[in-house]
Structure 1
Amino acid sequence: MKKFMSRFWKDEDGVITVETVIAVPFVALAFFATYVFFDLYRVNTASQKAAYIVADSISRQTEPVNVTFIEGMNTLHDILARTRNTTTMRVSSIGWSDQSDRYIAIWSVNTGLGPALGETELNGPMSARLPPIPQGETFVMVETSVDYTPLFNVGIAEQTFRQMIVTRPRFAPQVAFDDGSQLLEQDFGPGNCNDGPNLCSPAGS
């Protein structure tokens, strides 16, 4: 019995198989976790870059935009973000009123089922993230939302990446919106030529 136990203790047959059975699950878990972490970073970065591109594209518009245009920008965002999930977008034109000392939501369109931007939300905690502007100027704010679902369960929960990009109109004092019946554009405060030709007085003052 003593010799048998000695031979059994020294026998190394099957060691590689046992080590493989023990190690493979850990290696597989590390591989899947690494993939999910990199995919998480990729989606977040791609959605941020896509939001910047969309905001810049909207800011360059000199003609009034409409719902179809905004939905097309959402489709462009989906392509650029390279995400498997549906994304939503809210685009708003923001101004400032000296009379009420508040930001003004000139128009806002949400491509998802959520609400348009209201002035209560605009002048709440969100206002701390907005740049100061004088009355008569506007900026375009693009908010995007991308849902992320990991392909593998490695301890990372489903989450939503949200971006908020603020940019000034490039070639016009504001980006107007055509809702099908009228143009929604800045109509508050004393008009001056910096607000656009439609707000200039006949004398051009």
Structure 2
Amino acid sequence: MNFFRANILSFFRKEDGSQSIEFVIVVPLLVWSICSMLAFTESFRVRGVAVDATSVIADTISRQTTPIDANYLRGLQTVAGQLTRYGENVGLRITQLRCVKDCDKPAERVLNVVFSEGRGLSSLTDSDFASGKFRDRLPALSQGDRVILVETSFTHKPILNVGLEETQVEMSQTTRMRFAPQLCWEKCAI
């Protein structure tokens, strides 16, 4: 027993060894951890840029005083593509909604889609806001209130393969008109 204890203590006291073995063990872990930090940081940066791009588009729409059309929507999609650096791969949808009934009860309120137009994303209808995820994106509304729902979407592919998969980045922003009572598609009807 004494011999066993002496050998173990001797082993732990030794300071000689091969640095190449330590290098082979530690360097791959170090490289993987640096690559992982880069990939995760890039993913968070992309989400932040998507939030900012959606906010810029929503702010631009909220200041609009003339009717918008397909060309205007195409221009906004180009702006969103430039801001996110995803170009034409960015989908954009603009939906104007009006609360028509039970507006003080979020679970029971009736929402009317005034218009919904998109590029790369399909248009929404009244039934999309009857319940579900679209309904939950809207703030509290008063009877007759109109809001604009701006949505952007694109697929983000991680810069390095460290366990992250391609993800669909979807952002939405709700805003009210600032200088006009409503946003009009192609022409305004009173």
TM-score by length of 2: 0.80
Alignment of 1:120-139 (within 5 A): 120-125=127-132, 126-139=134-147
The one-letter code matched in structure 2 to 1:170 is R
- Paired residues in the alignment total 170
Superposition RMSD in Å = 2.3
* Equivalent of residue 118 in structure 1, options 122, 125, 137: 125
* Contiguous gaps of at least 5 residues in structure 2: 1-13, 103-108
Native 8 Å contact 1:148 1:159 kept in 2: yes
Is structure 2 residue 182 aligned with structure 1 residue 174? yes
Native 8 Å contact 1:92 1:108 kept in 2: yes
Label 1:84 to 1:177 Cα distance change in 2 as closer, same or farther (>3 A): closer
Q: Deviations over 1:17-72 (max 9, x none)?
A: 23222222111101110000000000001100110111010110000001111121
> What's the counterpart of residue 78 of structure 1?
81
% identical aligned pairs: 28
* Contiguous gaps of at least 5 residues in structure 1: 1-9, 186-197, 199-205
Native 8 Å contact 2:78 2:87 kept in 1: no
**Alpha-carbon shift at residue 12 of structure 1 (Å):** 5.3
Is structure 2 residue 66 aligned with structure 1 residue 63? yes
Alignment of 1:151-170 (within 5 A): 151-170=159-178
Q: Deviations over 1:61-106 (max 9, x none)?
A: 000001111121111112222347821111111112249x621111
SS at match of 2:155: strand
Native 8 Å contact 1:85 1:148 kept in 2: no
Label 1:83 to 1:33 Cα distance change in 2 as closer, same or farther (>3 A): farther
The one-letter code matched in structure 2 to 1:46 is V
**For the residues of structure 2 that align with 1:173 and 1:85, how far apart are their CA atoms?**
31
The one-letter code matched in structure 2 to 1:147 is T
Is structure 2 residue 91 aligned with structure 1 residue 88? yes
Native 8 Å contact 1:62 1:171 kept in 2: yes
